[in-house]
């Protein structure tokens, strides 16, 4: 017979929210990805209550008219005073409506060569920047998800079956709450997709009526 906490999973993957990250979209918003501008330098500081702060200095080099570049990052562990230098490749792809979308190429060595996976974010784990797959990271929502909820929707289960009943157990009530929460989230996503298909005037009316912000 098992003891206290027997059967409890203790080998859950680390989540992306617990790691510092380089974000290609954020760097682009800061005006760092400018082809032909020479070396464009900058710095960033990551802070978290559960980890010592990290400071990084970086420079970006993209040739004029090129869809490839280099991002060199020097990051400092404020506690250990350890300076590390990492060179990350930059790759651009063309968007359907014009312009370029920049990606970070994962530099983690796998089987003797860099991973090279294109990613918007690279995460800093064990003093190394890498993609989510190389570091074995996952999302918190995936750990909190219940596969039974997805199975219920796939089976076309009637939501009325999860309405409160006098004889409902605590476990059944918790599961029913998850089902209704997931249904609300699905409806919200469907509404947002519908808004994106509307004309600019209709979208403006929707955001004004709901008080939401575009992209929120």
**pLDDT tens for the chain, residues 1 to 216:** 444 444 444 457 788 888 889 999 999 999 999 899 889 999 988 887 777 777 889 999 999 888 899 999 998 765 567 778 899 999 999 988 888 899 999 999 988 889 999 999 999 887 889 999 999 888 766 655 667 777 877 788 787 888 888 888 888 888 788 888 878 877 887 777 776 666 666 666 666 666 666 555
Q: Are residues 169 and 97 in the same domain?
A: no
How many separate domains does the chain show?
A: 2
> How many Cα atoms within 13 Å fall on the side-chain side of residue 203?
12
The rounded distance, in Å, linking the Cα atoms of 145 and 2 is: 26
Say how many residues make up the chain: 216
Residue located via tokens 């974010």: 121
What is the domain extent for residue 205? 147-210
Token pair listed for 50: 């559960």
Q: Can you give the pLDDT at residue 27?
A: 92
- Does 31 share its domain with 93? yes
Based on the fold, state whether residues 122 and 27 are members of the same structural domain.
yes
Q: Determine, yes or no, domain membership for 35.
A: yes
* Claim to verify: residue 54 and residue 122 sit in the same structural domain: yes
What residues pair up with 15 in beta bridges, in sequence order? 138
Q: Show Cβ contacts of residue 49 under 8 Å, excluding neighbours closer than 6 positions.
A: none
Asked if residue 204 and residue 113 are part of one domain, the reply reads: no
Both 49 and 89 in one domain: the answer is yes
11 in any annotated domain: no
Running DSSP on this structure, what letter comes out for residue 88?
A: E
User: And the tokens for 214?
Assistant: 């575009």
**pLDDT at residue number 2:** 46
Between CA 95 and CA 145 the distance in angstroms is 32
């Amino acid at each position: 017979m098992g003891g206290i906490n027997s059967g409890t999973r203790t080998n859950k993957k680390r989540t992306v929210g617990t790691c510092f990250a380089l974000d290609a979209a954020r760097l682009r918003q800061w005006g760092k990805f400018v082809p032909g501008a020479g070396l464009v330098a900058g710095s960033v500081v990551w802070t978290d209550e559960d980890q010592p702060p990290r400071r990084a200095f970086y420079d970006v080099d993209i040739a004029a008219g090129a869809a490839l570049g280099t991002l060199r990052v020097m990051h400092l562990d404020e506690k250990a005073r350890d300076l590390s230098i990492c060179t990350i490749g930059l790759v651009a792809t063309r968007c359907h409506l014009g312009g370029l979308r920049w990606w970070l190429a994962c530099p983690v060595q796998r089987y003797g060569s860099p991973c090279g996976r294109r990613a918007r974010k690279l995460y800093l784990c064990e003093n190394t920047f890498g993609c989510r797959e190389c570091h074995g990271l996952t999302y918190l929502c995936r750990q909190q998800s219940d596969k039974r909820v997805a199975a219920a929707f796939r089976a076309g289960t009637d939501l009325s079956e999860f309405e409160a009943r006098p004889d409902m157990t605590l476990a059944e009530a918790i599961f029913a709450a998850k089902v209704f929460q997931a249904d609300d989230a699905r409806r919200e996503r469907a509404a947002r997709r519908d808004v994106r298909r509307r004309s600019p005037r209709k979208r403006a009316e929707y955001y004004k009526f709901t008080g939401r912000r575009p992209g929120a």
